[in-house]
Amino acid sequence: MSYDYDLFVIGGGSGGIATARRATDYGAKVGLAEFDRLGGTCVNRGCIPKKLMVYASHFPEAFQDAEGFGWSPVESSLDWQKMITGVNQEVERLNGVYDRMLDKANVDFIGGYAKFLDPHTLEIGDRKITADKILIAVGGHPVKPDIPGIEEAIVSDAMFHLETQPKRIAIIGGGYIGVEFACIMHGLGSQVTLIIRRDWILAGFDDDIRLQIQEAMQQHGIRVLTGTEPSKIDKTAEGLQLTTKGKHEETLVVDTVLAATGRKPNLQNMGLENAGVEIDKEAIAVDKYSRTSQEHIYAVGDCTNRINLTPVAIREGRAFADTVFGGQDCTMVYENIPTAVFSTPEGATVGLTEAEARSQYGDAVEVYRARFKSTYFSLAGRDEKTMMKLIVDGNSEIVVGAHMVGAHAAEIIQGVAIAVKMKAKKADFDATVGIHPTVAEEFVTLRNPVISEQVKRQ
């Protein structure tokens, strides 16, 4: 049978675009549909605009720290509208970059919402197209808790379009999105209350990362209500009245409530039932080759709900293209994927947490950890600690996990991740000469498997 395309991609996010471009490298005729702006969540509503706001939030501390180094006090105020305008202009620039990428790769771009009519046919507006292979890369969307008045709350997408800065903001959820926005808004000068069901933020991360970041957030002035849930939101003349239950039963009055309680795949109205694509726990079920229950239909990224990270979606998509169109046998490896939380202070990690390592290796686990105050803060005058930690399988002496909280943690862990991915041993770290004076050198100077409290000179 003849088809309009060798491959048609549904979704113009990072995973979909990377896949389309890779498939055209192998000579495939490729089309792509996207009903929103190109770039997906990362470019439009996530990684990029959020990181720009992270940068903006760090300047007040930098101004204050400078005084300890001899600079005169700085009096400065935030122009919220200028910041938000600049952030969105950069997003628009990147949309154009992705558009040009598709054009250069000879990918046919169709603006519109794609829906399955049958396993090989898609409807996009008033067009019907057919494809031999179809890739679903539609990402996910934020969800809100089901409580009375939740329609008054916003989700993370809206944070980049607020016309004015909320002076008081309550954030529901202790995952990385809630934590990052709590730190961003506090740094920008808002009064922040973070509401979490558990005792600690960032479930799933190493306990030392969770402890270090949460304690620092509270020390900086962010109010964290642990063991607490929202019960209702009421709109009043004074602002939004948020009532909580649990460990902290109280009523808060704020300007904005941000619901950061999770995300779900964007599968609504896709007509997946017309294509016979199976769903598992609200996500598309796939095998190790990203193949769905239909032999010719594949899915990558957040809509499969494996590991929801932009670089993972890109790697999954390229592995699919290399396998199906490049004649290779490529699968995504989900071990030792580095990730970061752009909180203040920053956290980053690769490999196993201490708890995961002990579950897997038992008493053979060796933990090397240091907490210290870097030289920067010795003059800045802030009591800010860095935490660095290596997890080692004592049987093989392989480093199975690395964790850090502190300035530039993500940049440092990105390099350490290479060593962990290559299964470097603790002796390899020990044999590496450190760059002095730096914080990063601590990863190659940790010697004794004990908790170490010290002052590090950077």
The H or E element spanning position 361 is helix 354-361
CB atoms within 10 A of CB 282: 11
pLDDT of the residue at 450: 61
- The tens digit of pLDDT for each residue in 27-85 reads 999 999 999 999 999 999 999 999 999 999 999 999 999 999 999 999 999 999 999 99
Max Cα-Cα span within the chain: 75
Catalytic residue among 58, 141, 220, 436: 436
The domain made up of 5-141+264-324 is a member of CATH 3.50.50.60: yes
CATH of 339-455, one of 3.30.390.30, 3.40.50.720, 3.30.420.40, 3.30.70.3000: 3.30.390.30
DSSP 364: G
- Topology match between the domains 150-261 and 339-455: no
pLDDT of the residue at 456: 43
150-261 is classed in which CATH architecture?
3-Layer(bba) Sandwich (3.50)
Is 258:100 a contact under the CB 8 Å cutoff? no
Closest to 399 measured CA to CA, from 368, 375, 378, 420 = 420
d(CA 92, CA 160): 13
Instruction: Please list the rounded mean pLDDT of every run of 10 residues in the chain (458 residues).
Output: 96 97 98 96 95 98 97 97 98 95 97 98 97 98 97 98 97 98 98 98 98 98 98 98 98 98 96 97 97 98 94 98 98 97 98 98 96 93 94 98 98 98 98 97 91 42
* Residue-level length of the chain: 458
Any idea which residue has 């619901």 for tokens? 259
* HEC letters along 141-162: EECCCCCCCHHHCECHHHHHHC
User: Can you give the residue ranges of every domain in the chain?
Assistant: 5-141+264-324, 150-261, 339-455
Catalytic residue list contains 248: no
Which residues have a Cβ under 8 Å from the Cβ of 108 and sit 6 or more positions away?
Answer: 5, 30, 31, 32
